[in-house]
Amino acid sequence: MKYYAGVDLGGTNIVVGIVNEKFDILSKAKRKTNLPRPGDEICKDIVELVKEAAELAKVQVSEIESIGIGTPGIANTDLGIIEYSCNLGFNDFEMAKIIKGYIDLPVFIENDANAAAYGEFLAGSAKGSNDAVCITLGTGVGGGIIINGKIYSGFNYAGAEVGHTVVDPNGPECTCGRKGCFEVFSSATGLVRMTKEAIENNPGSILAKMAQKDGKVSARHSFNAMRMGCPAAKEVCDKYIKYLALGITNMINIFQPDVLCIGGGVCNEGDELLIPVKEIVSKEVYTRNSPRNTEIVIATLGNDAGIIGAAFLGLNKSK
């Protein structure tokens, strides 16, 4: 049996999992990222967590084939350098080289959304496909693209930023500086923004009362209030679904993947999200009259996708 270490490096937590060749996560070790702080300290934490996770899995460090790291930002996969990560505060940070200085194992790095997409491709909702697009609806809209079984990241390692494609040029300004990005409307953050706007315009609505009772506005309020028959909430959900379907249609028209999987907390809405999205996409997609069309599915691995995908970055690199 072969074993691999997968690292999900985030702005809040560092999570390391030991994964076997069947894509089973045998153990996890976790600690806070504690930003801002020097990258060298983060690298030491990663090494310590690899050893801790290995011990929990009853695997010798010498039995681990490689360490793969999914990181926010632009990851130069050839040189093992994080060229830029605003979340971590890194510029041209030689992560792979530093970690190799602490532990004698091959080290691979990749953008975290790409790593998560690779995990879904290997062991999740996109398993068995050849080409896949994975979209994560979180604070932003993350994307990962698999073409011919390999992660696509562009010539400059910054590919698959699907959240920063414009779906409404007259829309709100995005953090990237453009207006009306897919991310502005279809992220959980975007859903919260639209929900707040609806509450301000409909202070006596079920939606407003629900948020007032909870003491804050969450991404779930509009869908929950819609189920209770709230017209204001239904308007928010319809708008959210419309823009999500628009962005998905664009991705399908560009890449025509076997599978497009959607992940992130918003996907907990299940069929009330997925069914209307599929209905809109089926009418809008360029191949709507074709007997073969992209399958749209909900991601199945959750937070484990990034660990599994990162663990097998060496496999991706060898293709």
Candidates 3.40.1190.20, 3.30.420.40, 3.40.190.10, 3.40.50.720; CATH matching 129-298: 3.30.420.40
| Sheet containing 107-111: order of strands | 25-32, 13-20, 3-9, 64-71, 107-111
Model pLDDT for residues 139-186, shown as the tens digit of each residue: 899 999 999 999 999 999 999 999 999 999 999 999 889 999 999 999
Phi, psi of 298 (to 5 degrees): -90, 135
Q: Do domains 3-121+304-318 and 129-298 have the same CATH topology?
A: yes
pLDDT of res. 317: 81
Model pLDDT for residues 98-120, shown as the tens digit of each residue: 999 999 999 999 999 999 999 99
pLDDT of res. 112: 94
Phi, psi of 264 (to 5 degrees): 105, 165
Measure the CA–CA gap between 219 and 222, rounded to whole angstroms. Answer: 7
Instruction: Give the mean pLDDT of 224-230.
Output: 96
Instruction: Give the mean pLDDT of 248-263.
Output: 97
pTM: 0.93
Inform me whether the pLDDT recorded for 60 exceeds 90.
Answer: yes
Candidates 3.30.420.40, 3.40.47.10, 3.30.70.2740, 2.30.30.240; CATH matching 3-121+304-318: 3.30.420.40
Instruction: Give the mean pLDDT of 279-301.
Output: 95
User: Domain boundaries in the chain?
Assistant: 3-121+304-318, 129-298
